[in-house]
Amino acid sequence: EEDCLYLNVFTRNIESCETDLKPIVVFFHGGAFLEGSSSLYGPRFLMTEDIVLVTVNYRLGIFGFASSKDGKVSGNFGLKDQNMALRWIRKNIRKFCGDPENVTIMGQSAGAASVHFHVLSPMSRGLFSKAISMSGFSENLWVRGTRGSFEFVANKMGLLKNTTEETLSILRETSSRSILQSLYTDSLNLPIHEPYLYGVIIDGEFVVDEPMDLIRSGKYNKVPYFFGYTNKEGIIYHVFNILETGKLLVLTDFKEMLPKDLDMDMNEFEDAIKSFYFNSEDPSEKNCENFVDLASDLWFRIGYEDVIKAHAKNGDMLYYYRFSADSKMNTFKRLSNITAAFTGASHEDDVRYLFNSDLTPNIEAGSREDVLIDKVIEFFVNFIKFGKPSDHWPRVTNDQMFFCDIGDNLICGKNPDRDRLDFWNNLYKKQGLKKAL
């Protein structure tokens, strides 16, 4: 639907707002800019704290991210919806005891990438004071789109006319259900070897330049930033494949694994991947957990630390986490009994320690799950309130990639998963290209 810009506001009190304003966190859901809803993120855990929570819906898929080759359909409408939500919050949130001068924007996956684009966008200047990105940044390979999705959709439906105006007029008279049904099979593809049909583009308004160029220029919204990833992001692809086919995902087409910015001989690429990730064996169900690390790196790690290093050079306040907690709260990987046995935290698992859903298990007081939820809430709410997850959390510096691993214990160190990042760095260097990580 296009009519989907709705906000859910959760507050503990609306009676003493004149004298007691609370920190605000605004959450943008994930779903590859294609699907998802704020209704999947309940307030039960976060609202044990004295804050105001706002969850946001925004236009998705063709309605949120279509763009035409001539620029007359500008694109990034979903991000502009989020921006409008932030403007509404700044104007009205005092009525819910929220402090408009203490707003943290937070997102997961596509929502996390959205947060980074708000950090970089002149349109969002002054609308927030802190940022949290969970498993997503502007430079992830699946985030960026290309102009022309508008023409692609119209052509697929047999409605493409001579001008954008004519085509737009006809599409506006077509039901949203008809448009979505015609695109369903294409919509599920989330490529890294070619531009994403519904990705974010440089529109000259919300996204005014290449993200890395904006960061290097220092022309963006410099705020304290908390960000990270799960240690087994790639479990998500096994889960999706099992739900669709009943089987684990076995890699057969290495072309789909080749990043679009890495110009490399396919045979050489396949040999390198097999050697590093699969111990020189062919991918199979027997080594399916090896695929998890490959998918994690390709979809969520390539480009990640480039972004962090660029921000750090500007002196930004940066706090980095890796999430490895593994309990009954890891509800996403437990959608399948097969992946439930995998170790670690899948993509989407970390956010379930912050938000309840229909999948949230019964939580007994004092249980391991209860303790982990309290710990995760403490770190995130500390950042929401004070701009730092804890007094003991080291800040990323210009020359040190400090991080903390969130598991049963908080373990801090530097350079997480360095061997895997070095593997991709070396592939890029061999091609004479910029560092990937």
Catalytic (active-site) positions: 109
Q: Which residue has the tokens 């399916």?
A: 288
* Cα 68 from Cα 75, distance rounded (Å): 8
H or E stretch covering 22:
strand 22-28
Could you give the C-alpha distances from 265 to 122, 268, 269, 303, in angstroms and in order? 40, 5, 6, 21
Residue 331: alpha-carbon gap to chain centroid: 18
Residues 6+ apart with CB under 8 A from 135: 30, 108, 109, 112, 228, 229, 230, 233, 300, 347, 348, 350
Side-chain-facing half-sphere of 179: CA atoms under 13 Å: 22
CB 138 within 8 A of CB 200: yes
| Spatial contact of 400 and 308, defined as CB atoms under 8 Å apart | no
Beta strands in 158-268 (DSSP E): 225-230
Q: How far apart are the first and last CA of the chain?
A: 37
* SS3 assignment, position 420: helix
Side-by-side strand order, sheet with 225-230: 7-10, 52-56, 22-28, 98-108, 130-134, 225-230, 318-323, 402-406, 410-414
Q: Are strands 98-108 and 130-134 parallel, antiparallel or unpaired?
A: parallel
Nearest to 207 by CA among 215, 390, 5: 215
SS3 130: strand
| Pairing mode, strands 402-406 and 410-414 | antiparallel
Distance between CA atoms of residues 156 and 187, nearest Å:
12
Residues 33 and 114: their CA atoms lie apart, in Å, by: 9
Cβ contact 180:43 at 8 Å: no
Compute how many other C-beta atoms are within 10 angstroms of the C-beta atom of residue 267.
9
Contact 112, 200 (CB under 8 A): no
Asked if residue 123 lies in contact with residue 146, where contact means CB atoms within 8 angstroms, the answer is no
Distance from C-alpha of 269 to C-alpha of 292, rounded to nearest angstrom? 18
